[in-house]
Amino acid sequence: MEFFLNKIKYKDPDFLVVGLNKSGSYWLAAMLDAHPEINCFPTLPGGKSGVGEPHIFDVLGSIDEDGGAQFRKSFTETRDGYFADLVPYLDKVSRNELYDMFRERYSQWCDLFRKKRLVGEKTQEYIFYLDIIDYFYPEIKKICIIRDSKDRLVAFYFNQVRKGREAASKKIPDEFITSFVERVKKEYKILLDYPKEIYCYTYESMIQDSKNALTGVLKFLGAVVSEKILAEMIRAGSFEKLTALDAGSSDSSRKPGEELSTSHYRKGVAGDWKNYLDDQQAELVNSKLGELEKKMFKKYNLALKPIF
């Protein structure tokens, strides 16, 4: 293939935001992209910033799950066909050779977004495919956002309703809660068992003290920190700014806590679970995840969740 005959060496991406879903990853991407040394994409949901979540490593990971069906469909029909010519190689080369082809092409693709010194992307499903990421880029920096699991559950439920994947109900169904808890258990176990470095911070800490939380992320990435830069990043990631962009409008009238069910940024607050989960449902989540969460918070040196 012509691409593989050229000798151009593209720089590898510098970091990945690997999760967790409904924990503020678009918020972080928007703030990082406002830094003078960092390009991070996507900064808006649904491809409204010109590109959607790349979903490279999770689609590659799906090959063993469905025999390559999602791989063929996804890389043929999305990302403006940038990876489409690699799809036929699934049946022609070894898995490692296929990964090596995608590594070169993915680095090239990320380099298209590199207008500054550092570049990275965020796809929340990557938490389940850290082994593939490490095959591609053993030293790449990874960031993961932890959020109160009950708030995540409520946010995920309304997101699924918004997308038509769940029927709206006055009470979140218990079976939905059980299914979501199993997902979170898997995520927590991955974080506990993972032997390499992941930089973790909490959604709640970013709400309480954005400057301090962002400073930690920037130091991890090796990016410059200043009061001016932090202020601009926080402004770029403000709820008012993101909701206005998400709505395709220049208006910035909706404040955190003002709910809009049709928006990806539905409410933008912590502690919202208290409005939707009854005591029995909350206790179910706590009983299933409490011990795992304590171990995870200890491993990643996270402060205990603040009470909202």
Amino acid at 268: G
* Band (163; pLDDT cuts 50, 70, 90): very high
pLDDT at 11: 94
pLDDT tens digits for range 40-86: 999 999 888 888 999 999 999 999 999 999 999 999 999 999 999 99
pLDDT tens digits for range 224-281: 999 999 999 999 999 999 988 886 555 557 889 998 888 889 999 999 999 999 999 9
Name residues whose C-beta falls within 8 Å of residue 55's C-beta, 6 or more positions apart in sequence.
Answer: 74, 123, 125
Encoding tokens for residue 276? 């939707």
pLDDT tens digits for range 87-121: 999 999 999 999 999 999 999 999 999 999 999 99
Encoding tokens for residue 98? 């296929």
How many Å apart are CA 254 and CA 240, to the nearest integer?
Answer: 6
Residue 3: is its pLDDT beyond 50?
no
244 in Cβ contact with 252 (< 8 Å): yes
pLDDT at 7: 52
How many Å apart are CA 8 and CA 72, to the nearest integer?
Answer: 27
pLDDT at 260: 87
What percentage of the chain carries pLDDT values higher than 90? 86
Residue 4: is its pLDDT beyond 70?
no
Q: For all residues of the chain together, what is the average pLDDT?
A: 93
Give residue 89's Cα distance to chain centre. 28
**C-alpha radius of gyration, the chain, whole number:** 20
**Mean pLDDT, residues 146-163:** 96
Residue 307: is its pLDDT beyond 80?
no
DSSP string, 212-275: HHHHHHHHHHT----HHHHHHHHHHT-HHHHHHHHTTSS---PPTT---TTSSS----SSGGGG
> What CATH topology corresponds to 9-147+198-228?
Rossmann fold (3.40.50)
* Band (5; pLDDT cuts 50, 70, 90): very low
* Band (284; pLDDT cuts 50, 70, 90): very high
Mark residue 4 as left, alpha or beta (left: phi above 0; alpha: psi -120 to 50; beta: remaining).
alpha
Domain ranges for the chain: 9-147+198-228
pLDDT tens digits for range 187-213: 999 999 999 999 999 999 999 999 999
pLDDT at 221: 98
pTM of the model: 0.94
pLDDT at 2: 44
